[in-house]
Structure 1
Amino acid sequence: MAKFSYKGRDLKGKKAGQISASSKREAVVKLSQTGIKVQFIEEIPETLFTKDLSFGRKVKLKHFVIFLRQFSTLLKAGVTMVDATRILGQQTENKHLRNALLDIEQELKEGNPLSLACSKHKKIFTPIFINMVRAGEAGGNLDDTLDRLAVQYEKQHDMQKKITAALTYPVIVGIMAIVVLIFLLIAIVPTFVDLFAEFGGELPTITKFVLKASDFMQNAWYVIVLFIFAIIALIITLKKNKATKYYFDYFLLKIPVIGKMLQKASLAKFTRTFSSLFSSSVPVLQAMAIVEEVVGNEVIAGVIKKSRNSLEKGQSITGPMVSHWAFPPLVTQMIVIGEETGSLDSMLTKVADFYEKEVEYSTDQIKTLIEPIMILLLAVIVGTIVASILIPMFQIFNQVGTY
């Protein structure tokens, strides 16, 4: 949303200030509604200091779910769409959503449909939302569509929380292990270097290794920092490039235990989203194109694309899925049954429910498996350093004892 500087007059005299709007025309309309007759208006160039900084998703899933629930409730209560949009815009805490709803309210007043108004804010309203709303408008059941969307995003939010919780513990323990390692190598190990040198003698291999690691950490720590930044930059680059992201996602899916969890999460998202779009009367080919973009895994997205091409040729949707390892027989068989019985949305929902429960089970399993592994890793790191110090110390004590 752009910002505009204006000068004008109202009943009390001259006015000047700034206003946010998606266009100059909209800014003039907003000002005229407040009783200001605009004499001069121009857009303020966006700079680093004036633009709104946003990292990641502009509207959190939990806030978006609340918005959908409230919007559906207001429409079912008989509140007009314009009034419902204004009410939600006034009470929402997220400034990005609030500004978008103010724009949408103006679009609705001008007679534009909700789907068209939302499509102008693609950073907030996803293709799934826009297409389902468009289908709901055509079918006259927008309130039910919003409820279905709320369930869709709620399930997605819950699954993301479970996966994040499962991976947070090993990350925290891993960071703690690195901090402890750095502390021991920089603060503790160097205090014994002079002692070992004074008594001379051949040091054990493990002690030599730890002393070299300590020396490297003190004198060339920047190499490690640069290496970490290089790895992070490489991962970001691989994820941004669609061709390399395929191999990155392929690698993630092949990681023991974690890969299975990510596979189930992607299948749950695929079936849940496809079911929501299909049950909202979005054309099946269009629904598959949307799912392909939002599933979040290039390996599975590639199979969905092949399935869409297969369907366009009049062939079965499950053909490419059956021959691919990422799609278990449960998924393909349930889709086939759904096609044959005319209940594809229902079958997809059942598959989504199953895999969402599987993801929950997998996250619990990962927590159970990783906890002892991380504790053992931390014990090995600390134990190695302690042993590298104690072994030569015992040798020194033995030498002293012989005199």
Structure 2
Amino acid sequence: MTLFFHVRCMRLGDTQVSEQTMAASSETALRQTLASQGWTVLSVKAVKPVAAAPSARSQFALFCRELSTLIQAGMSVVEAVDTLSARERLSGRANGLAAELLERLQHGMSLSNALEQLPQAPAVLVAAVRAGERTSDLAQSLSDYLKFDTLVEQLRRKVISASIYPALVTSLGVGISLFLLLVVMPNFARMYTNLRGGSSGATAGMMALSQWVAQHQIVTFSGVAFVVACIAWWVWRGAARRHGLALASRIPWMRRRMDDFQLAMMYQALALMLRGGYPMTEALVVASRSALQARTATALAQALARIEQGGAVAPSLAGAGLCDEVGRRLMAAAERNGDFYLAADVVSRMHGERFELFVERLTRVVEPVLLMLVALMVGSIVVMMYLPVFDMATRLG
């Protein structure tokens, strides 16, 4: 199970304390991961996951796109943020993202430090802005971050779009089944009460269920409403997603495809940091905060520890299970020619394409199977409802 913690930590030689929200399987595992990355942990506090994280990510992406456009048009950072803040005030949002950043910028903070103070700011965005401040090319750094955000959003939308059709089919099948059981069946039950003589098998079971539903409609409808409310609460709180991921991680071939999604994000963040001038160790630290699951973050911490001890990058990543043979050879070639950014970008696209292909294939298999199951469910209810009619016709004949 993945837990979320608010962490205050700092590195030796730094003058500022870093505050951020991180995910881990436990507080002990989080402290060990940070310690292996060279951080001194000041405090760790468990927090509930923020339900509005996806919309917050979209908000930051939109802000970066607009800020990059204004900077390329010739504005300074403060002027660009002030312009966006003025637009927020005109639209009735006095305490928007740009307004919060403008207040911090006016107190002498840099944009990266101002972003770091925001609780929902992505760690990759903060590092990208800091790299842009180092190279005096903030617009390019923002564009690089938008490329990372586009990749993550593209993979997420792939999963969502593939889930819409099965969800609609399942909802329609369950809705029709409930209509038959709760509305149509009680009417049939009234007709079956005139049937004389004994019945057996499915006929007897269907008659008993029909009569019970007809006599206890309030209880039945209340039970159905309670179940629907529980399912809605389960999905709204994010428990459905967490339980689904936990179940999928126990299936080997599903776990490998989930790893492709995680590695695509990790290597894209790594490419972003390396292009911004970060050394490999710092780039790996930032990549470990790019919404990775606890298992992937732990593996990355192990690879980072080996690299800090003098190990080569490619064997360290491969030994931690973070790249296959193709990825290992690409990173090994990058060690010779120094093009780590290009190698990481290629590995990221490779894992992203594998994940997209997996989603497409899974959709092609699941959709017909789901249609068949829904048809069998509805058809079985209809057939069993009419079995007593056939039995009555036999008796009358």
* SS of alignment partner, residue 294 of structure 1: coil
Given the alignment of the two structures, is residue 76 of structure 1 paired with residue 48 of structure 2, yes or no? no
Residues 378-397 of structure 1 correspond to what in structure 2 (within 5 A)?
A: 378-397=374-393
Given the alignment of the two structures, is residue 349 of structure 1 paired with residue 336 of structure 2, yes or no? no
TM-score by length of 2: 0.73
Given the alignment of the two structures, is residue 114 of structure 1 paired with residue 111 of structure 2, yes or no? yes
Q: Structure 1 unaligned segments of length 5 or more: list them.
A: 1-53
* SS of alignment partner, residue 199 of structure 1: coil
Aligned to 1:278: 274
| CA deviation after TM superposition for structure 1 residue 380, in Å | 0.7
Pairing partner for 2:202 from 185, 190, 205: 205
Aligned to 1:367: 363
Greater radius of gyration (CA): 1
CA shift in 2, pair 1:278/1:211, >3 Å: farther
| CA deviation after TM superposition for structure 1 residue 84, in Å | 0.9
TM-score by length of 1: 0.72
More off after superposition, 318-327 vs 371-380: 318-327
More off after superposition, 215-224 vs 192-201: 215-224
2:130 is matched by which residue type in structure 1?
R
2:155–2:352 CA contact under 8 A, matched in 1: yes
Aligned to 1:338: 334
Percent sequence identity over matched residues?
17
1:271 is matched by which residue type in structure 2?
Y
Distance of 1:301 and 1:138 partners within structure 2: 27
Pairing partner for 2:186 from 168, 187, 190: 190
* Greater RCO structure (CA 8 Å; 6+ sep): 2
More off after superposition, 212-221 vs 74-83: 212-221
1:281 is matched by which residue type in structure 2?
G
Distance of 2:210 and 2:289 partners within structure 1: 46
Distance of 2:298 and 2:176 partners within structure 1: 43
CA shift in 2, pair 1:296/1:183, >3 Å: farther
Aligned to 2:219: 219
| CA deviation after TM superposition for structure 1 residue 89, in Å | 2.4
2:206–2:385 CA contact under 8 A, matched in 1: no
CA shift in 2, pair 1:174/1:58, >3 Å: closer
Pairing partner for 1:102 from 86, 99, 103: 99
Distance of 1:203 and 1:161 partners within structure 2: 51
Aligned to 2:82: 86
CA shift in 2, pair 1:310/1:234, >3 Å: farther
CA shift in 2, pair 1:329/1:206, >3 Å: farther
CA shift in 2, pair 1:194/1:229, >3 Å: closer
Given the alignment of the two structures, is residue 164 of structure 1 paired with residue 173 of structure 2, yes or no? no
Residues 34-73 of structure 1 correspond to what in structure 2 (within 5 A)?
A: 56-57=52-53, 59=55, 61-73=57-69
2:375 is matched by which residue type in structure 1?
A
CA shift in 2, pair 1:162/1:220, >3 Å: same
Pairing partner for 2:140 from 139, 144, 150: 144
Given the alignment of the two structures, is residue 268 of structure 1 paired with residue 264 of structure 2, yes or no? yes
1:210–1:385 CA contact under 8 A, matched in 2: no
Distance of 2:125 and 2:94 partners within structure 1: 14
| CA deviation after TM superposition for structure 1 residue 164, in Å | 0.8
| CA deviation after TM superposition for structure 1 residue 157, in Å | 1.7
CA shift in 2, pair 1:98/1:355, >3 Å: farther
Q: Structure 2 unaligned segments of length 5 or more: list them.
A: 1-49
- Root-mean-square deviation (Å): 3.6
Aligned to 1:291: 287
Distance of 2:144 and 2:268 partners within structure 1: 10
2:261–2:351 CA contact under 8 A, matched in 1: yes
Number of corresponding residues? 343
Distance of 1:314 and 1:355 partners within structure 2: 27
Given the alignment of the two structures, is residue 131 of structure 1 paired with residue 127 of structure 2, yes or no? yes
Distance of 2:290 and 2:396 partners within structure 1: 70
2:266–2:292 CA contact under 8 A, matched in 1: no
CA shift in 2, pair 1:278/1:234, >3 Å: same
1:58–1:96 CA contact under 8 A, matched in 2: no
1:81-115 CA distance string (max 9 Å, x none): 11111122233599779623123223333332111
Distance of 1:290 and 1:377 partners within structure 2: 45
Aligned to 1:400: 396
Aligned to 2:40: none
Distance of 2:255 and 2:207 partners within structure 1: 34
Distance of 1:288 and 1:150 partners within structure 2: 19
2:129–2:141 CA contact under 8 A, matched in 1: yes
CA shift in 2, pair 1:247/1:380, >3 Å: closer
Given the alignment of the two structures, is residue 300 of structure 1 paired with residue 296 of structure 2, yes or no? yes
Distance of 2:300 and 2:210 partners within structure 1: 49
